[in-house]
Amino acid sequence: MTVAFIFPGQGSQAIGMGKALFDAFAASRKIFEEVDEALGEKLSTLMFEGDPAQLQLTANAQPALMAVSLAALRALESEAGAVLARDVKFVAGHSLGEYSALAAAGALKIADAARLLRLRGKAMQAAVPVGAGAMAALIGADPELAAKIAGEATAASGVLCEVANDNGGGQIVVSGARQAVELAIEIAKENGVKRAMLLPVSAPFHCALMRPAADAMREALAATEIQPPAVDLVANVTAAPTRDPDEIRQLLVAQVCGAVRWRECMGFMHRQGVELFVEIGAGKVLAGLVKRTAEGARSLNVGVPSDVESFKLTA
């Protein structure tokens, strides 16, 4: 069976995530300890029993989600005998999940990934004043219609609105200045889009307004060692495979302002023969999208100890 490991992005965080892995598996526990040490604070305590509002902060949610993903992967390795380089054809991650995918495949050290994601979260939040930007989901729109809506909203408002995520299954997200995004919602309704609604996010991710954050990540990534991953990474902004460290560095910078082409990423992997997509980490968002983006493929998610047992049975 041909397998891809996929890694979730922001929105899957919840207090208590990763605690069962921490309690059950020594290999998982080491990941949380390594992330805590890299950040110089007990992020794990916030994740397991802290204030939900603090965990929602982008600078905390991003490294926290990466930690859960890597802890789940270590559980698969130690308890189910999984070997990524042997068992997996591709890795991919949604937005911040791309860092998790790279750490899983050995391209980034876990401590480096944690520090990069902390910086990424802070830089993205700082790029646009709170309240000045927004994101909206257009449910039932295709990519062409979403791009048309965003363009019309930009032209009418005089400020930016762009397509930020193409998640598949008619789930498109637009991002930009609040005035333009709110106008895009109205235009979407006029164009027959089933649902159009603001998302509860703190910044307009994956649009050109994030350029200051992209500049910060360019500088940080230039100083970070990146190794060729053990398997191909299917990148967010190209929906194409790569193992080249210099290209990966450039793609991670481009990803800050660029759209997440998740539908195309999944379609590419499925056409290359992937039959099973395993979501590694918190939540089940990506596994739930598999039926809409890779018809006929199967999905699993691995985020708690019982999921490790399910993976054994599947494998």
So which residues are the catalytic ones? 95, 206
Listed residue (217, 264, 256, 221) closest to 240, CA to CA: 264
Q: Which amino acid is residue 50, in one-letter code?
A: G
Listed residue (134, 173, 129, 176) closest to 154, CA to CA: 176
Tokens of 206: 């994956």
Could you identify the residue written with the tokens 């949604």? 94
How far is CA 168 from each of CA 2, 21, 205, rounded to the nearest angstrom? 21, 30, 18
Alpha-carbon torsion angle 163, 165, 166, 167, nearest 10:
-160
Q: Please give the Cα distance from 9 to 29 (Å, whole number).
A: 21
Pairing of β 133-139 and β 3-7 = unpaired
Could you identify the residue written with the tokens 């490790």? 308
Residue 297 has what DSSP assignment?
-
How far is CA 206 from each of CA 108, 118, 125, 253, 289, rounded to the nearest angstrom? 22, 17, 12, 11, 20
Q: Please give the Cα distance from 242 to 231 (Å, whole number).
A: 9
Sequential DSSP letters for 193-246: -SEEEE---SS--SSGGGHHHHHHHHHHHHTS--PPPSSEEE-TTT-SEE--HH
